[in-house]
Structure 1
Amino acid sequence: MQDCLTPDVYFVTGTDTDAGKTVCCQALLQAANRQQLSTLAYKPIAAGCELTQYGLRNQDALLLQKASSLTVAYELLNPIAFTAAIAPHIAAQLENKPIEQGYISQGLERLKSLQSQVIIIEGAGGWRLPLNADETLADWVAMQKLPVILVVGMKLGCLNHAMLTYETIISDGLKVVGWIANQVEEEMSFYAQNLALLKHKIHAPMIAEIPYLNNVSEQDLSSYVDFDFTNNKIM
C-alpha cells in the first residue's frame, strides 16, 4: 500500500455486460473499508441513467457511491452519463457528446487528489468496450497501466469468455491481480467443474467467490473477498 496521497487504483472489468461488475465492486469497496482503508469508487462511463431533480443518475453508480467510505459529489464518481441503456459510443453519437480518454483521465486525477487509499474503477461492458470507432476503454486502462480485476459471471459460456478476456488483458501488457467468480444464476450445472477449470486456466488468484444473492445491494459482501489491499495479495 502506498501512502494516502497516492492511492492504489484497481480497474474492474467483466467477461460481459451482465457479469456483475457492480456487485463485485461493492464487495471490494466493503472489503477495503473493513481493512480500515479509505475508499472511493469511479464509474467513468454509465449508460442507462435516469433524469432526476439532481441531474442524470445511474443506479449502479449510486450503489458504488454508497459503498465508498468517502463522500464525493456524484459528478466526480460518474462524469460521463447517458440516458439510453445502449452501447456508450452509440449513446455518445446520439447525444453528440464524444467520449474522450483525456476527460476520463482528468476525472481519475481529481479522485486521486481526495486522499483515499483505494480507488475501485468499474468499467463498462466487457474489456473491449468501444469509446468511438477507433478507441476502446481498454486503451485507456493500458495507458494508465492499471492493475486489473476480472469478474467472471458464472453461467453457461463463461469459460470461453473468461479465458479470452484474461488472455487479451495479458496481451495488452497489463497484470490481472485477481479474479472473482460471481454466481449470476441461482443454479449452474457443474458449477464446481467450471470453477476448477477457471482456476487452472487463469494464472491469477481467485480473490472472491460471491454466491447468488437476493437484495444484494443491501448486504455487506466483504466476507466473500479474500484480498489484502495493503499488500496486494490474497489473504
Structure 2
Amino acid sequence: MTEESVAADQPAAQRRRSTVSFLRDLLIIIVVALLVSFLVKTFLIRSFYIPSGSMENTLQIDDRIIVNELVPGMVDINRGDVVVFTDPGGWLDNPPAPAQPWLVQVWDGLLNAVGLSVSDSNDHLIKRVIGLPGDRVECCNALGQMSVNGVPLNEPYLLLPQGAQAVSAKSFDITVPKNSLWVMGDNRYNSKDSRYNGNTPGKGFVPIDNVVGRAFVISWPIDRWGWLSDYPQTFDGIPAAG
C-alpha cells in the first residue's frame, strides 16, 4: 500500500469514527432525557387533561394542567387547593375506552411513560378542597353561603346558574373524618362531588392517600395559560378543626 492510499483512507476512517461517536452521543442523550422525564413524572410533576365541565370556569373541558406530585407527600394540602385524585370507589362510571390500533397504543404508552401523554385522565377526578380532616362543613346559611368551622365562605371562583339563591342545591352538615377530604367542583350546580357520593364506600370523602397532587398551572391551550389559585383570602380566616 502506497503512502497516497493510506492518506486517502484516513479521512474515510475519521468520518466513520465521527459518525459512530455522534450516534453514540445521541443515544446517550435520548436515554438520559427519557430517564429524567420518567423521574420528573414519577416524583415531581404530571400532566392531565380536563374531561368535564365540573370545574368551570376555573378549568375548561380539554384544558391541560400540570400537577405537583409533591403534594401531599412532602407538602401539606390546604383548603382551596385544586387536587387530582383517583376514584375513591363509585364516583366514576366511565364506559370502556374504544380499542386503539396497536401502533397508537405503543406510541401513547411511550409518551405516557415520560409524562407527555395524559391518557389516564379519565381514571382520575379533579375538585377543589373545601374541608380538611376534622373540619365541619355546612351549607347553606340564610345568605346561601357555605361555612367551614362556623366561618361563612366568600367563593369568587364559583360558577352558579342565573338566579341561584345558594352556592349548593343540596344542603348538608358534615364533619370530615381523619385522613380524608371534602371536595367540591367550582361549577357547583354541575359537579358530582362529595355531596353526591354519600352512598359510595367512602361516603363522599376522599382519602388523602388517593390524592395524586395539586394542580398549579394550566399549560394548554396557550391562551388559557395561567396559575391556579387556592384563594387564600377565602380560607385564611378559618380556625383549625376542633
Please state which structure has a larger fraction of its residues in helix. Answer: 1
Relative to the length of structure 1, the TM-score reads: 0.26
Q: Which has the larger radius of gyration?
A: 2
